[in-house]
Chains A and B, each alone.
Chain A
Amino acid sequence: MKQTLIISLLFPFAALAADADYTLVIKDHRFTPTELTVPAGKKIKLLIENQDVTPEEFESHSLNREKIIAGKGKVTIYLGPLEAGSYPFIGEFNEATAKGVIHAK
């Protein structure tokens, strides 16, 4: 829709955000740390750094998030504000090993 287009044109100004609150690293198709505790009721900025050469997709149905991180790439992802609880996430491209949980407290 038109709104979407207009908003997407505004992004360079809006995205000048502060440093990430939390960082996840992907290496050998695993997340480090595998568990992350974040405050509930607050918006979280999460940096994901992929140290593998292959791409990965951060995915969490409970967080309603899905995002590709290129090999050797870094992305930012915003979460919440979350209610207190546990939110599992996976690396969809390597589901067997890439797993983790975010705890909101």
Chain B
Amino acid sequence: MFGTAIIVFREVLEAAIIIGILAAATRSIPNSRRWLVAGVSIGLIGSGIVATFTEAIGSFASGVGQEIFNAGILGIAVVMLAWHNIWMSSHGAALATSAKSLGNDIRDGRSECSALLIIVGLAVLREGSETVLFLYGIAAAEDAGRSTMLLGGLVGMFSGIVVGYTIYAGLLRVPMRWFFTATSILVLLLAAGMASQAAHFLIQADLLPSLVAPVWDTSVTLPESSVLGVLLHSLIGYDARPAGMQIIFYLSALVVISVGMYVAKQFNKPTISTKGAL
């Protein structure tokens, strides 16, 4: 049962962390909660569908379909997180500090909400489909330990959600003047971590060279399977044995998104709150 709980916890945690951070980051946007719930629901339905088609996805492209699928999902998520952060650095501060969210802001808020929906949906889809497969395997097994293992799954799921919620609640307590900086740094690191993971999948599929692999090896001091390892993996994309290509993807995402945020901020500076997008 304990083993099951750990496995499910690891899968759920990653999605829960993403949702927790995004939920906090979008708290001032009108209707964002509804979009968030929609994202989770779509993601859950999607994970059932993806789990059903695992064989088809896996045998696709000479057996590396799963990597391409995952890399594609991660790629989209990175783009959406980038968009979120850039949007936030131009509109977000205005939206939160002045209560007067004008027509423009609300309209822009809607496109921001669709980004939220996609990010959350994809996060749930990716982690959820693995959980569904794992639990399906248990349910299909004939041994007597089945129900305790399923119980373990529930415990793991619940624990993952608790951590996600804790991150959310913790972020809400961050004072307003640091809030945007805090959430945008977290989102930035999430995006960079996902970019590195996408590179990892493409290396595994032999579609990208690994360059130097591994660049470092901290699998003894901080294994990725430990609780701290899993947390850091989800939060900042920690990898105990990363390939050089992953580092390149990680840093490129960091730089590109940061520059985008900086530029967006500069463009919006002179007019401040009342004007929308340029």
- Listed in ascending order, the chain A residues whose CB lies under 8 Å from chain B are 1-5, 7-8, 10-12, 14-17, 43, 45, 47, 53-57, 61-62, 64-65, 67-78, 80-81, 92-95
Contacts and interface: CB of A to CB of B under 8 A. Distances in A.
Interface centre among B140, B206, B225, B252, by most chain A C-beta atoms within 10 angstroms, is B206
B59 A75 contact: yes
B207 A10 contact: yes
By Cβ-Cβ distance, the 3 closest A-B pairs, closest first, are: A76-B63, A4-B75, A70-B55
Contacts of B133: 55, 57, 68, 70, 93
B207 A7 contact: yes
Residue from the set B58, B75, B141, B198 with the largest chain A CB neighbour count within 10 Å: B58
Contacts, number: 139
A74 B115 CA distance: 35
A61 B7 contact: no
Assign chain B's interface to a size class.
35 or more
B87 interface: no
A16 B87 CA distance: 40
Contact of A11 (B76, B138, B207, B240): B207
Nearest to A54: B137
A71 B205 CA distance: 20
Given A1-B252, A4-B75, A92-B7, A78 B205 contact: yes
* A interface SS class: mixed
Interface in B194-232: 195, 198-200, 202-208, 213-214, 219, 223-225
Given A3-B249, A3-B252, A47-B63, 9 more contacts: A1-B82, A4-B75, A7-B207, A8-B75, A55-B54, A64-B240, A67-B66, A68-B66, A73-B54
Nearest to A63: B241
Interface in B128-147: 130, 133-134, 136-138, 140-141
A61 B225 contact: yes
A79 B136 CA distance: 28
A7 B208 contact: yes
Contacts of A15: 61-62, 64, 205-207
B202 A64 contact: no
A16 B207 CA distance: 11
Contacts of B223: 61
